[in-house]
A and B are shown apart, each in its own frame.
Chain A
Amino acid sequence: MEVEAFKRLYPLPFYERYLDSSVRPDGRPLGRARPTSVSLGAVSTADGSAIVKIGNTTMLAGVKLEVMVPSQETPDQGSITVDFQMPPICSPLVRPGRPVEAASVISEQLSNVLTSSELVNLSELCIAPGKAAWMAYLDVYCLDADGSLLDTALLASVAALAHLQLPAVSVSEEGRVYPVSSTTSGDVSMEGAETSIKVKGNSISPRRRLKLGAAPFALTCMVHKKHLLADPCAEEETLLQSSITITMNQMGRLVSFYKPGGAVPATTAIVKECISLARRRAREVQQILKEALEDHIESPSLMQTD
């Protein structure tokens, strides 16, 4: 029988033939993830943005900042709102007008992981306690859905937050926030401020990057009866059904272990193997992100060491 016909009629045995030789149809070994690339500053109008590609899966993340009055329970904290969307451009399975259930699930998982990992210390987003704080809107758009959506979305979010620069602002005593332009790194001049406000009464915070905690990185693995595949593409995800998504940070802490049902139960052996694959992947991705940040930063004085 021809290979194409065999693949159409018996997709699972076709795949198993490859898996038994510890390789996948695209030539990847079972434990290896697809080529990953991070590109920062894709959206010039956003305060922080990144485009991430893992294989064919492409995600665009952007952060926009807005000034808000902090809540009374947490007067010295800002907030982050995460929104994940899968527009019809990303997959033939997404129809316009009808939101895919996968989008809500990944959106919930993404905000859960970002909160659990304590990547952003919300006190960093404070401008003046009790009067003004930053509200960050993190929007992630899926441009091409080819498997491992959470992994790519999380990496895009982390990259966008790493790229984010809080603008230099000046706060008046009443709590009004004015943008400030910095001509040189040491000299700050006022712009667009009312002439009646005294400069001495205002506190000025300089333009700066956020100091981030240990970044979380996710890896999705598909569990088959005898094999464990890392970073599946969309075809593998629909075929093999049972998936485990592990999120680890650089400190080796398990941020999230997500296994939503599936025919294959996860024994301790599978759990340990997935964790070691995730750990290796976190190191790989950390390196890729660091290189992307170093390439992007123009002035060395703004360089942050993670």
Chain B
Amino acid sequence: MAGEALSRPDGRAGNQIRPLVCTRSLLSRADGSAEWSQENTTVLAAVYGPKSVTGKKENPEYASLEVIWKPKSGLSGKFEKEAELIVKRSLESIILAALYPNLGISIILQVINDDGSLLACAMNAACAALVDAGIPLSGLIAAVSCGVTVNNEVVLDLLKSEEQKNVAHVCLVFPSQPVSVVLELASNVDEKPEKQGFTTCVMRGAMDVDQYLTCVDQGRAASAEIAKFLRKSLGQSQVWALLSFLL
């Protein structure tokens, strides 16, 4: 299977992701911003926070998180609402919200161009923007999309044309925490990086269980690469460079 040439529209191999570009601090008014591109799919993320919130949104124990998804054109519909919820729930697991009670963090995602893997691109952009804003995180996240073609091949980082033609595709988000500083989560460290679980999964289309497990494995490997790229682009300190070499 690996030797056969897959006919993807842009000539990539099945387990090849598109070139990534991450630019930070583009917006002057936002506390943090980042633009993440996976070749032609581009999302611009802006983070405002921690800032004061009013009324119901105020939580005396945690900072409240708000995600706004702006489509490239048209009004926000149900797809945007679902995407907002998914991004919010995924980021809640990494943001140390307990440090900012009674405050709020807003993340605005603007779709610049959509050529497939939009949700994954937006998640990566949001994570980079959060780091740019200086919001304390317990780790990073790396998102990737995988799909199953009509010939039962598993491909990564789908184009829009592939998403429409394929049998099914799934967006997976993996946490990237090589070292845990929280004792209760230490059980995660015992597991080999190869067996790490995913934070989020959203599927479109139907596939068999074995195909799904293959997608998860491929996605896990790709997300490790994406996380490595993210760390490098965020300008890692000496400590990070040393740890990533050891593991």
Check: A288 CB closer than 8 A to any chain B CB.
Answer: no
Chain B residues with CB under 8 A of A275? 209
Chain A residues with CB under 8 A of B207? 253-254
B206 near A265: Cβ-Cβ < 8 Å? no
Which secondary structure dominates where chain A touches chain B? mixed
Check: A250 CB closer than 8 A to any chain B CB.
Answer: no
Closest CB in chain A relative to B60 CB, distance in Å = 16
Cα A267 to Cα B201 with chains together (Å): 12
- Chain A's closest residue to B79 (CB) is A108
Q: Which of A107, A249, A253 has the most CB of B within 10 A?
A: A253
Chain B residues with CB under 8 A of A254? 203, 206-209, 212
Cα A270 to Cα B213 with chains together (Å): 12
- Chain B's closest residue to A279 (CB) is B209
Chain B residues with CB under 8 A of A108? 78-79, 81-82
Check: A271 CB closer than 8 A to any chain B CB.
Answer: yes
Cα A265 to Cα B193 with chains together (Å): 13
Closest CB in chain B relative to A256 CB, distance in Å = 5
Q: If the complex has contacts A105-B82, A265-B175, A267-B195, are A259 and B200 also in contact, measured as CB distance less than 8 A?
A: yes
Cα A287 to Cα B203 with chains together (Å): 26
A104 near B82: Cβ-Cβ < 8 Å? yes
A249 near B82: Cβ-Cβ < 8 Å? no
Check: A130 CB closer than 8 A to any chain B CB.
Answer: no
Determine which of B92, B191, B216 lies in contact with A261 in the assembled complex, contact meaning CB atoms within 8 Å. Answer: B92
B203 near A258: Cβ-Cβ < 8 Å? yes
- Chain A's closest residue to B196 (CB) is A265
User: In chain A between 265 and 290, which residues have their CB closer than 8 angstroms to a CB of chain B?
Assistant: 265-268, 270-271, 275
Chain B residues with CB under 8 A of A261? 86, 88-93, 173, 199-200
Chain B residues with CB under 8 A of A71? none
B206 near A259: Cβ-Cβ < 8 Å? no
Q: If the complex has contacts A116-B205, A252-B209, are A259 and B92 also in contact, measured as CB distance less than 8 A?
A: no
Determine which of B191, B206, B212 lies in contact with A116 in the assembled complex, contact meaning CB atoms within 8 Å. Answer: B206
Closest CB in chain A relative to B166 CB, distance in Å = 12
Cα A211 to Cα B203 with chains together (Å): 26
Cα A259 to Cα B208 with chains together (Å): 17
Q: How large is the interface on B (under 10, 10 to 19, 20 to 34, 35 or more residues)?
A: 35 or more
Check: B204 CB closer than 8 A to any chain A CB.
Answer: yes
Number of interface residues of A (CB under 8 A): 31
Check: A170 CB closer than 8 A to any chain B CB.
Answer: no
- Chain A's closest residue to B87 (CB) is A261
Cα A112 to Cα B205 with chains together (Å): 8
A270 near B212: Cβ-Cβ < 8 Å? no
B85-108 to A contact mask, C-beta < 8 Å, 1/0? 110111111000000000000000
Check: A14 CB closer than 8 A to any chain B CB.
Answer: no
Check: A101 CB closer than 8 A to any chain B CB.
Answer: yes
Check: A257 CB closer than 8 A to any chain B CB.
Answer: yes
A81-118 to B contact mask, C-beta < 8 Å, 1/0? 00000000000000000000100110111001000111
- Chain A's closest residue to B205 (CB) is A116
Closest CB in chain B relative to A39 CB, distance in Å = 28
Check: A297 CB closer than 8 A to any chain B CB.
Answer: no
Check: A11 CB closer than 8 A to any chain B CB.
Answer: no
- Chain B's closest residue to A249 (CB) is B206
Chain B residues with CB under 8 A of A266? 197-199, 201
Chain A residues with CB under 8 A of B201? 257-259, 266
A260 near B93: Cβ-Cβ < 8 Å? no
Q: If the complex has contacts A104-B81, A117-B206, are A271 and B216 also in contact, measured as CB distance less than 8 A?
A: yes
Closest CB in chain A relative to B52 CB, distance in Å = 22
Closest CB in chain A relative to B75 CB, distance in Å = 13
Check: A43 CB closer than 8 A to any chain B CB.
Answer: no
Chain B residues with CB under 8 A of A116? 168, 203-206
- Chain A's closest residue to B194 (CB) is A268
A257 near B212: Cβ-Cβ < 8 Å? yes
Check: A262 CB closer than 8 A to any chain B CB.
Answer: yes
Q: If the complex has contacts A112-B204, A265-B198, are A101 and B85 also in contact, measured as CB distance less than 8 A?
A: yes
B89 near A260: Cβ-Cβ < 8 Å? yes
Check: B179 CB closer than 8 A to any chain A CB.
Answer: no
Additional A-B contact list (14), CB under 8 Å, known A266-B201, A267-B195: A101-B84, A108-B81, A109-B82, A116-B203, A118-B206, A257-B212, A261-B90, A261-B92, A261-B199, A262-B200, A263-B92, A265-B175, A266-B199, A268-B213
The 7 nearest A-B residue pairs measured at CB: A261-B89, A265-B197, A267-B197, A261-B90, A104-B81, A108-B78, A108-B82
